[in-house]
Each structure stands twice: as C-alpha cells, then as structure tokens.
C-alpha cells in the first residue's frame, strides 16, 4: 500500500482521482468506516435514509461518503458542468437507478440552491436526512449548509489532510464530520419559538422549550431570563401571586447578573412591587383588601390585564368572565369605602337610615327589573347588581356614572354563557361590548379613588408583559 500511495502522489494531478478510485478506494474506505463507527458511538454522525450531495469536479470524496454512510437514497445536486462526474460516482458506488435522483441547480445562486434543498426536504419529509457539502462550488456548499442549518438536518463534510509539500489529499486520512448547527448551538430557533409562544401568552409552552434549552445551548443566559419570566407570567395568569413574585424576582436577578435586556428592569421592578402587594393574599380578608386602594387596584389590574390577554387569544367566554369579576371587584371596593363588607354587610354604621336605604334600594331595583322585579330587603350577602343598586341608593359617584340598564344587559350575556349558567357562546361583539363597559367603569373608579398619582392608562400599562423587544398590550 505504501508504494501505491507513493505512486498516487507521483501521477499527474489530472489523473490522481482516477488512480485513487482504482487503487486506493477500498483501503481508504475501511479506514473511514472505522472512524465513522466511533463517530456514531459518540453521537457525532447519524444513520441517514437520504443523503443530499453537492457535486463538483472531485468525485472521490462523494464516493467515499456514499459508501461509508450507506444511505437508502442519494439525491445529487448538480450543474451542467459537474453532471459529467455522475457516471464515475455511480460506477464506483454501484448505486442502482432506484437509489439515486438528480436535481439541476444554478451553481452561482445561493438562493436557488437553498430553495431546491428546502423543497426536496419538505417533499421527502425526511427527518433522517443529511447534506454532504464536500463537493461543488463555494456558493453551492454555502447554500446547502444554510438550508441544512435552517431545516435542522445534519450537514456533513469529508475532511481531508493536504500536506504542504503536496497538492492533493492524503489517502486514508479522510474523516466524515458533522458541522455544528449554529441555530442549535446557540438556541436561536428555540428562543424564537419561545418568543412566539410568549406573544401568544402560552407561557407553559415556553417553559417546556426554555427549561431543557438552558442546559443544551452554549450561552444560556438569555434562556434563564426568559425561563423565569415565563414561570412568573404563567403564575400571574393563574393568580398565583406568590410564585409570580418569586419567579419575577429571579428574572430580575438574572437580568442584572448577565446585563441583558436592562431596558426591561424599571418595568419589571414595578411589576414586582405590584406583586408584593398581593403576596399572602389568601390570608387577607376580602373586606380588608378592598379598603386598601393599592392592594385592591393591584388585584383589579391583574384581573383586567388577564381579561385583555384572553380577549386577544379570542377566548371570549373566559375574557367576559374576568371582565365580570373586574366589575364585581370595583363594586366591592366602592362598598368598602362606605364600610360595607359585601360578604357580611352591616348597614347600621351608614349615615342614611336603614328604612330610607331600603326604600331607595327597592325603587332602583323596581325601575331596573320592571315586570321581572321581585321585592327584596337589603341583602345579607351582596351580589354585583345588588351592590350597584345599593351604591346608587347611597349616591356613590362611581355608581352614578354607570348606566345600570347597560350593565344588566351585559351581565345577562355573561350569565347565559356556557361557562356561567347557560349554553351560549360569547361572540366577539358581545365581548367588545362588555370590554367597553368595564373600561369606562375602571376609568371612573380611578378618578374617584386612585392607587397612585397617575392617569389610569399609565397605571394599567404597568401590567403589560414584556415579550421579545416589545411589550404586549394588556
């Protein structure tokens, strides 16, 4: 074999490939297969059903790749010039006609090459495919590599050793390597997918992607940040304020530690402050909470922002339920300002007499329900519509700003929903009507009893979730 290798280096360069294929192929192939077995054990190179090859003017590396990898089918990407080498490749690989196909490409157009490979991979639906970019022009190899990286299929290259004193590859020293996919190494594809899920408010789906990626990618800092944000926002959407606070605090620590997305820090810290108001909320009596405007508005703002997100997802039934709850909380907050606990109201501390309040309450109810009116005394547990009627009777400025007929119509729609007491599905039109009503109610309540010295729109913007480079409207 030593003499054959020596002769290989001595023949004219134009004859070297022919000499290699006729005298050195089997010996080099055995060495290559030994290396390939080790690469497969280490998970560096896989087993492939389909092998795409860019064909240039050097058939030897393509023949070696085919014989070593033993794919079920080979798809050759050729130009008018390189197709002349196909006969040589077929002769030495002994591929049957059913085992290969040929695709003609424009060797000077990376876009054309990318498009052909993308279409081929899509048509063949072949997860066990690889692209061998050893042959062909630089443009062909670049286009093929780009397609492989984007389509997430293995990109292979037959590495050769060319000694400085010689002008051709050294036989037996070839090695098939898989080129690292930068999208996988740095997690770009996973991060983009997670951002898409953020934009759709699917934070649990984002967690499922970001969690494993944190230990898979080379630079996981951004994944740690998004992971804690996703956990925080998922918990906030579930009204699990304690977990949301803990994970948002972790997100801010990550942001500050790695100096990434520092522009988010003021917004996230304000959100952390809001969540701190709601920690251990289950241990706070409702009446006490609604007497504290900061805590009450933190809860109301959270519920309203949640409703807006459900509306953007077109989950109108859930959105309307949450909007109803916002109205109910606004009513409970205003009742608390009159020292009335909606669960256990005591009317004795009011400036107005019980008899006068009862008379006014009944009159408002009678005008509202008309023929469906059923006379009732002052309630022992106050529902939403009863609360609004009581507030009207007390001449509360917030209740006076509301049209109770309009409120009742929207509440009736909620009550007929399949998620409440009926069988109907809430439409976009129905949702939009309820949203407009609640927006007005929020603005009026904020004017009367705000939690901070700012406009309502400025306050509600604090509940927007940061996503990618923007903030999603809440």
pLDDT per residue over 299-329, tens digit each?
999 999 999 999 999 999 999 999 999 999 9
pLDDT single digits (tens) 19-51: 989 998 999 999 999 999 999 998 889 999 999
pLDDT band at 469, cuts 50/70/90? very low
The confidence score (pLDDT) of residue 179 equals 85
Distance separating alpha carbons of residues 283 and 304, to the nearest angstrom: 22
The confidence score (pLDDT) of residue 184 equals 62
Residue 130's DSSP bridge partners are 51, 154
The confidence score (pLDDT) of residue 256 equals 96
Average pLDDT over residues 214-236: 91
End-to-end CA distance of the chain: give it in Å, rounded. Answer: 74
pLDDT single digits (tens) 332-378: 999 999 999 999 999 998 999 999 999 999 999 999 988 888 888 99
- Is the pLDDT at 474 greater than 60? The verdict is no
- Is the pLDDT at 126 greater than 70? The verdict is no
The confidence score (pLDDT) of residue 421 equals 65
pLDDT single digits (tens) 413-449: 776 676 666 667 888 999 999 999 999 999 999 999 9
Structure tokens at 62: 């393509």
Tell me what percent of the residues of the chain surpass a pLDDT of 90: 64
Domains and CATH numbers, the chain: 2-179 (3.40.50.10770), 190-283 (1.10.3450)
The confidence score (pLDDT) of residue 422 equals 65
DSSP 402-444: S-HHHHHHHHHHHHTBTTTTSSBPPPHHHHHHHHHHHHHHHHH
Q: How far is CA 210 from the centre of its chain?
A: 9
Alpha helices per DSSP H over 259-315: 265-277, 286-290, 293-312
Is residue 474 within 8 Å of 233, Cβ to Cβ?
Answer: no
Is residue 117 within 8 Å of 77, Cβ to Cβ?
Answer: yes
Residue 238: partners with Cβ closer than 8 Å, 6 or more residues away: none
Q: Would you call 373 helix, strand, or coil by DSSP?
A: coil
Q: Would you call 50 helix, strand, or coil by DSSP?
A: strand
- pTM for this predicted structure: 0.71
Distance separating alpha carbons of residues 172 and 169, to the nearest angstrom: 9
Lowest pLDDT segment from 247-251, 312-316, 408-412: 408-412
């Amino acid at each position: 074999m030593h003499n054959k290798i020596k002769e290989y280096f001595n023949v004219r360069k134009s004859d070297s490939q022919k000499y290699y294929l006729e005298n050195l192929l089997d010996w080099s192939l055995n060495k290559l297969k030994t290396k390939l077995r080790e690469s497969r054990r280490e998970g560096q190179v896989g087993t492939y059903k389909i092998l795409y090859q860019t064909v240039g003017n050097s058939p030897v590396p393509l023949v070696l790749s085919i014989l070593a990898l033993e794919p079920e089918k080979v798809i050759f990407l050729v130009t008018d010039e390189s197709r002349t080498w196909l006969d040589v490749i077929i002769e030495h690989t002994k591929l049957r006609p059913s085992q290969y196909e040929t695709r003609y490409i424009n060797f000077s157009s990376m876009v054309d090459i990318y498009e052909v490979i993308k279409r081929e991979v899509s048509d063949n639906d072949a997860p066990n495919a690889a692209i061998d970019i050893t042959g062909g022009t630089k443009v062909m190899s670049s286009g093929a590599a780009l397609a492989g990286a984007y389509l997430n299929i293995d990109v292979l290259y037959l590495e050769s050793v060319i000694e400085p004193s010689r002008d051709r590859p050294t036989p037996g020293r070839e090695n098939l390597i898989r080129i690292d996919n930068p999208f996988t190494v740095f997690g770009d594809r996973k991060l983009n997918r997670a951002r898409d899920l953020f934009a759709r408010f699917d934070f649990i789906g984002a967690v499922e992607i970001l969690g494993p990626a944190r230990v898979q990618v080379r630079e996981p800092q951004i994944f740690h940040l998004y992971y804690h944000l996703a956990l925080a926002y998922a918990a906030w959407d579930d009204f699990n304020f304690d977990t949301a606070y803990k994970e948002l605090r972790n997100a801010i620590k990550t942001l500050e530690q790695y100096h990434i997305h520092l522009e988010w820090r003021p917004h996230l810290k304000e959100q952390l402050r809001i969540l701190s108001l709601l920690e251990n909320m289950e241990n706070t009596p409702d009446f006490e909470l609604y007497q504290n405007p900061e805590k009450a508005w933190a809860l109301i703002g959270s519920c309203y922002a949640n409703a807006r997100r459900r509306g953007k997802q077109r989950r109108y039934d859930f959105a309307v339920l949450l909007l109803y709850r916002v109205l109910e909380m606004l009513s409970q907050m205003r009742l608390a300002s009159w020292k009335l606990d909606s669960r256990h109201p005591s009317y004795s501390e009011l400036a107005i007499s019980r008899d006068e309040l009862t008379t006014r309450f009944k009159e408002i109810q009678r005008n509202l329900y008309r023929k469906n009116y059923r006379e009732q005394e002052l309630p022992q547990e106050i529902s939403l519509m009863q609360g609004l009627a009581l507030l009207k009777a007390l001449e509360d400025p917030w209740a006076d700003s509301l049209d109770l007929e309009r409120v009742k119509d929207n509440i009736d729609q909620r009550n007929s929903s399949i998620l409440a007491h009926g069988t109907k599905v809430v439409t976009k039109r129905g949702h939009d009507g309820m949203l407009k009503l609640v927006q007005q109610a929020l603005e009026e309540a904020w004017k009367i009893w705000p939690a901070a010295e700012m406009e309502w729109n400025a306050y509600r913007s604090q509940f927007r979730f940061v996503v990618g480079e923007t903030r999603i409207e809440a």
